[in-house]
Amino acid sequence: MAQQESLPFFPIIVERGEGPYLVDEHGRRYLDFAESINVLGFGHPQLIRAISTQAARLVHYTSMLAWNRPCLSLSKRLASLTGIPRARVAFTSTGSEANELLLDHLLEKGDVIALRGAYHGLLTWTSFITLGREHPNIHQIPPGPAGLHEARRLFREENISGVIVETLMVHAGIVPLGEDFLRELRDLAHDNAAVFVVDEVYTGMGKTGSLFSYQRLGFRPDAVTLGKSIGGGLPLGGIVYDSGVVELTRAPGGTSTSQGANTTACAAGNALLDILEEEQIPNRVLEMEPEIGRLLEEHLDVIGAREARGRGFIWGLDTGDPGVARAAVERALERGVLVSTMGHRDEVVRLAPPLVVGLEEWRKAISSLARHT
């Protein structure tokens, strides 16, 4: 028990949520700028209603045996919203499983190019990439011009079946990748009949100022993987793919998963899409981005950071020093704000709140990191 209690990042036991606030078991409130699943904050009435109504009707019946409306409707909507032609959807329970299933398929056909430092999960194939381990059929290139050079060589010399990227590398320390780099890599993949995959597990559902992060960057992938937020807080992941270039049912594991399209999680996903659209949340995030960037720049010195990087509502303050980042996180915690660290050495303070907060909450979170108030 003592061991278990030392595991989580924050030394608190959370009991309930109220909008962007978490309340611990002693009644202390924390503004949450740390989590990545609950894009609507906690307890959005419309979302809770959708979950309760579906749970009362049918919590889950596996889509391996019979269809259900929430799952059919969510897959139709995701297919259309991604803009992927001939789109089909395969649901999983997590983002890692979605990436794993797609990589399984791509590696059956040839080699895969991934970005060095990317996070795609910690299962079999995904952990080779996430942990930077060598695999003869998985080639990891650095993001940027040197990576493009390496990709061109790989396409000349190897049989590459797919390329997988994040558009903003969160675990690598909040590194937004340039449009030109991503587009060139996508074009290289297309010129060589390889499948171009964007992992939207973290960045999807409006967090970078468009429903899917690639949509504001002006290109379209052949497949996207989803997870984290798409189940409105319930476990749900998925792949939306162009069935003209990817045939997932023929992948080694097929798409079989008993809980993959959990009925209640799909109902929550539909409600989430309704709310994002009705409240125009991605657009609101996009509009606030310049002011957030400005506020962060203004506070670099008092926080002890040297650079602010991000898009939409995912920002990192690079301190260059894990000790400085950790101290900032601890100051924020004492002041009732939850933020966490990212980057290979945990040297970057990450600010990633639910998308319902306003500039007032951003100001509060940023000033909670300051060395003096």
Ligand X SMILES: Cc1ncc(COP(=O)(O)O)c(C=O)c1O
Residues at the interface with ligand X (CB under 6 A): 94-96, 99, 119-121, 166, 170, 199, 201-202, 227-228, 237
Please report how close the Cβ of residue 191 comes to ligand X at its closest, in angstroms.
Answer: 26
Of 119 and 313, nearer to ligand X (C-beta) is 119
Residues forming beta bridges with residue 196, ordered by sequence position: 163
Of 111 and 199, nearer to ligand X (C-beta) is 199
Please report how close the Cβ of residue 103 comes to ligand X at its closest, in angstroms.
Answer: 11
Q: Which residue is nearest to ligand X (CB)?
A: 95
What is the Cα–Cα distance from 105 to 99, expressed in whole angstroms?
A: 10
Please report how close the Cβ of residue 268 comes to ligand X at its closest, in angstroms.
Answer: 15
Of 70 and 121, nearer to ligand X (C-beta) is 121
Please report how close the Cβ of residue 169 comes to ligand X at its closest, in angstroms.
Answer: 8
Cα separation of the two ends of the chain: 37
Please report how close the Cβ of residue 159 comes to ligand X at its closest, in angstroms.
Answer: 25
- Whether the Cβ atoms of residue 87 and residue 134 lie closer than 8 Å to each other: no
Please report how close the Cβ of residue 96 comes to ligand X at its closest, in angstroms.
Answer: 3
Q: Which residues of 61-86 are buried (b: 16+ CB within 10 A; e: fewer)?
A: eebeeeebebbeebbebbbebbebee
Of 95 and 354, nearer to ligand X (C-beta) is 95
Alpha helices in 34-144 (DSSP H): 45-57, 69-82, 95-109, 124-130
- Whether the Cβ atoms of residue 257 and residue 232 lie closer than 8 Å to each other: no
Of 164 and 303, nearer to ligand X (C-beta) is 164
- Whether the Cβ atoms of residue 350 and residue 357 lie closer than 8 Å to each other: no
Of 99 and 368, nearer to ligand X (C-beta) is 99
Which residue's structure tokens are 């709140």?
Answer: 353
Of 114 and 365, nearer to ligand X (C-beta) is 114
Strand, coil or helix: what is 199?
A: strand
- Whether the Cβ atoms of residue 70 and residue 270 lie closer than 8 Å to each other: yes
Please report how close the Cβ of residue 212 comes to ligand X at its closest, in angstroms.
Answer: 13
DSSP assigned state of 46: H
